[in-house]
Structures are given as C-alpha cells and as structure tokens.
Amino acid sequence: MDHYFETKVYYCDTDAYGVVWHGHYLRWLEKGRIDFCQDLGFDLVKLQSQDIVLPVVDINIKYKASAKLNEDVLVKTSIDEITPLYIIFNQEVFDKFSKKIFVQAKLKVVAVNNQGKLYRRIPKELYETLKKVSGVSNEIE
C-alpha cells in the first residue's frame, strides 16, 4: 500500500537560496509516516498512552533535487521491510505534476517504552496490519 501526503512549498519551508531547507524534508517525511499509520487506525498519541513509542533509529536520505517556493509536492510512504522487531519505511518526496524526485529515504523504526527502553517487539496488532498492507513477506518471525 502506498500512502500519499500532499503539501505546497511555502516561504517558511525555504532557505536563503529560495529552495526547501534540507531539514524540512524530514518534517514532511514524518508527517507522511504519521498519516500512513493514522489512516490504518493507529493513533500515535494513543499508542504513547499505552507506553509504546515508535522512534526512527536509522535514516538514509538521498537529496536528488531542490523543491522551490509554491511547488506542489507529494510525499509517498510505503513499507519496504517489516519484522517483529522493526519497520523500514520507504519514502519519496516529488513534484506533484512533473514527478521529479527531490528526496528518497529509507527509515528504520522500532518500538520502545515512554522512557526510551528498547525492550519490546512491534505491537502485534500494528505489526499484523502493517505486514498485511505492505505485501512484504519476511523469513524472520
């Protein structure tokens, strides 16, 4: 399943050179992952109240081109790999109309408690749902 988040590049997203500041792409990527989970019925605030937090522990990002002021961009989010221990999201930021890719990223997410202790697997319901919609089959169970 691919999830899409759409936004426009506003002045506050750009740097002194008139292009999107490199760190702002990370905010869009996070919004894409949050919306992806929420569209599947998983509210991250509710998970946190259950002592489950899903931090990014590894990120590989490739900046391919710069988005500019007033461009319409799409953030595509999908699952590249899922195991009971972690999820790897595959994300792209690209121009809505030309499909020009600005950013490609892979992000690894794990489950920890509210104090940051890595001691648990991905919650079973979340794992099962994400595995089903991802279409990814893993040998590791």
Domain ranges of the chain: 3-133
136 residue type, one letter: V
For residue 119, the model assigns a pLDDT of 67
| Alpha-helix runs per DSSP H in the chain | 24-39, 44-49, 124-134
pLDDT tens track for 33-69: 999 999 999 998 999 999 999 999 999 999 999 999 9
Fold of 3-133: Thiol Ester Dehydrase; Chain A (3.10.129)
Is-contact 58 107, C-beta < 8 A?
yes
> What contacts 29, CB < 8 A, 6 or more positions away?
75, 77, 91, 93, 103, 105, 107
- The neighbour count for residue 141, using CB atoms within 10 Å, is 6
For residue 123, the model assigns a pLDDT of 87
pTM metric for this prediction: 0.91
pLDDT tens track for 8-33: 999 999 999 999 999 999 999 999 99
The pLDDT-based confidence of 134 (bands split at 50, 70, 90) is confident
Give me the mean pLDDT over the 80-107 stretch: 97
